[in-house]
Amino acid sequence: MSLVLTALAGIPLIHAGDDLAPILLASLQRAGTSLLDGDVLVLAQKIVSKAEGRMVRLDSVLPSAQAQALAEASDKDARFCELVLRESREVLRVRPGTIIVEHRLGFVCANAGIDHSNVDGPGTDPEQYVLLLPEDPDATAARLRGVTGTSIGLSGLPGLVDMRGQPDLFGFRLRVTTIAAADELAAAASLVMGQAAEGTPAIHVRGFPYPLREGSLHELIRPHEEDLFR
Amino acid sequence: MSLVLTALAGIPLIHAGDDLAPILLASLQRAGTSLLDGDVLVLAQKIVSKAEGRMVRLDSVLPSAQAQALAEASDKDARFCELVLRESREVLRVRPGTIIVEHRLGFVCANAGIDHSNVDGPGTDPEQYVLLLPEDPDATAARLRGVTGTSIGLSGLPGLVDMRGQPDLFGFRLRVTTIAAADELAAAASLVMGQAAEGTPAIHVRGFPYPLREGSLHELIRPHEEDLFR
């Protein structure tokens, strides 16, 4: 029983409006593989955001008073803070260099997931551009899946695998074990993607060990009352 | 570039005093593979704890007053709470059903990592036994590595991979990216291990994408001043 994660090389730089489906299919062909039943494709968030045109030029952002206060408290750019606030439901922690928020998609993360590395822009100062998370990652995954015939992102695979009630080795009932299978897969894919110059933003996965089914990002979000940050 | 994780089947139930090295070598042989330079073995904590005799019969534990107070606040067994306290440096959060501590090894986790599933014992009520984390996982990994000639656990592979200062795709300096490579590998291995009746507590890994070097659990522990739980 093996899990095989293969980096798909040669994916070009993605621009706003690009259709990812044919790009991914071509990269699968180049890698000498295809999508069989049960295979999963894991995509880096950045190529989805870029295809969706989620790049924002900081110069175009007018910070509110609230963003200016957040900039003061966090030692960050006020325009950046404005975008963080627009992308968030609630600010949970602020320290110099650190802003922890509940993102509008529901998860808790730093800087609302806004990043400016690996973002290119038309201007001469590319650091002036930042990249927001995709508008609706589940919908994007579902749309790509419709085109390619299998699971991409968190469509068609379980976010959580509920093992409660299953017997363990000794016949106990496992009482609280729920496996964040999609997160574990994302971590595995991240290991293969690397983070820097390698540039392999898509990973082909064969041997995902749990039954595939409809899934959603929302499975992975801890209810407020179980969130120990609160 | 592929990362291949293979579950090693047929590992027997482990008992206190068992020598894991020959057991693992035999399972590698059965899987038709061997350890090449650069390969990694990932072991489930439970088989290391069992081999080290870290199983404790709850009946043998006398709870302190502090443990009784913790039991009250957490709705957990006072003897279990006594063990949690013995294994911890500090209790960080308590709610009914939840105890978050700083483990004596330095990381923050629930219940000091003490588990009672998949623990067998000589008595008639196996639920009365619990399993503590290994005494010194880095030392165990180093000892096993000495025997088998390659990396097992967190000996000989990096806990963190420091990408700071490396150029990203567009020549930026990546500013804060440090990759918890060992954690990502552990998540990948966990996906292949499963949690319940499958019982594959060892995973053979080929294609780990970062240079191997000496490593330690301590790399993965966030300094107190960066720990947002505090």
What does the pLDDT average to over B67-91? 94
Chain B hits for A5, CB-CB cut-off 8 Å, are 2-5, 188
Using a CB-CB distance cutoff of 8 angstroms, which residues of chain A are in contact with residue B126? 170, 172
**Percent of chain B surpassing pLDDT 90:** 20
Tell me what pLDDT residue B71 has. 93
pLDDT at position A18 is 94
Q: Do B177 and A195 touch (CB under 8 A)?
A: yes
Q: From the list B169, B175, B195, which residue is nearest A163 (CB)?
A: B195
- Give chain B's length: 230
Task: Find out whether B44 and B227 touch, Cβ atoms under 8 Å.
Answer: no
Q: How far does CA B163 lie from the centroid of its chain?
A: 25
* Interface contact flag, B172 A229, Cβ < 8 Å: no
**B191 → closest Cβ in A117, A184, A197:** A184
Of the partner residues A9, A168, A208, the one whose CB lies closest to the CB of residue B196: A168
Please report the residues numbered 186 through 215 in chain A whose beta carbons come closer than 8 angstroms to any beta carbon of chain B: 187-188, 190-192, 194-197, 199-200, 208-209
Please tell me the pTM assigned to this model: 0.74
pLDDT of residue A17: 93
**3-state SS of chain A: helix, strand, coil percent to 5?**
35, 20, 45
Q: Does A118 touch chain B (CB under 8 A)?
A: yes
Contact criterion met (CB < 8 Å) for A120 and B172: no
Is pLDDT above 60 for A128? yes
- Which residue in A169, A173, A229 has the most chain B C-beta atoms within 10 A of its own C-beta, making it the best mutation to test that interface? A169
User: Please, which pLDDT band fits residue A73 given cuts at 50, 70 and 90?
Assistant: very high
Which of A84, A193, A179, A24 lies closest to B163 in space, CA to CA? A193
At residue A7, the pLDDT reads: 83
| Mean pLDDT calculated for residue range B178-190 | 70
More confident residue, A97 or B200: A97
| Least confident stretch, A85-99, A194-208, A211-225, B40-54 | A211-225
Contact A5 B9 (CB under 8 A): no
Residues of B in contact with A113 (CB under 8 A): none
Per-residue pLDDT of A164-216, as tens digits, reads 555 444 444 434 445 567 777 777 777 777 654 446 777 888 877 777 666 66
| Cβ–Cβ under 8 Å, residues A107 and A124 | no
pLDDT exceeds 70 at position A148: no
Lookup: tokens for A77: 């750019």
CB of A5 within 8 Å of a chain B CB? The answer is: yes
Q: How far, in Å, CA of B108 to CA of B110, rounded?
A: 7
Q: Which amino acid is at B39?
A: D
Between CA B84 and CA A160 the distance in angstroms is 28
Check if A167 contacts B (Cβ < 8 Å): yes
Residues 6+ apart with CB under 8 A from A122: none
User: What distance in Å separates the CA atoms of residue B203 and residue B4, rounded to the nearest whole number?
Assistant: 10
- Give me the numbers of helices (H) and strands (E) for chain A, helices first please: 6, 11
Q: How many CB pairs under 8 A join A and B?
A: 149
Q: Residue A171: its pLDDT value, please?
A: 43
Instruction: Kindly state the percentage of chain A with pLDDT values over 90.
Output: 20
B71 min Cα distance to partner chain A (Å): 19
Using CB atoms and an 8 Å cut-off, which of residues 55-94 of chain A contact chain B? 93
Compute the distance between CA of residue A20 and CA of residue A87 in angstroms, rounded to an integer.
24
Residue B3: list chain A partners with CB under 8 A.
4-6, 188, 191-192
Q: Tell me: pLDDT of B112 over 80.
A: yes
Confidence of residue B108 (pLDDT cuts 50, 70, 90): confident
Quick one: pLDDT at residue B180? 64
Quickly state the pLDDT bin for B46 (edges 50, 70, 90): confident
- B129-155, pLDDT tens digit by residue? 898 988 887 777 777 765 443 333 444
Lowest-pLDDT choice from A92-106, B49-63, B94-108, B137-151: B137-151
Q: Do A2 and B1 touch (CB under 8 A)?
A: no
Average pLDDT taken over every residue of chain A: 75
Calculate the CA dihedral of residues A40, A46, A49, A51 and round it to 10 degrees.
Answer: -80
Rounded to a whole number, what is the distance in Å from the CA of B149 to chain A's nearest CA?
Answer: 23
User: Can you spell out the DSSP letters for B133-166?
Assistant: PPS-HHHHHHHHHHHHSSEESSSSS-S-EE-TT-
**What pLDDT band is residue A158 in, cutting at 50, 70 and 90?**
low
> If you compute the radius of gyration of chain B from its CA atoms, what whole number of angstroms results?
19
Tell if the CB–CB gap between B191 and A170 is shorter than 8 Å: no
Q: Cα–Cα distance between B112 and A117 in angstroms, integer?
A: 37
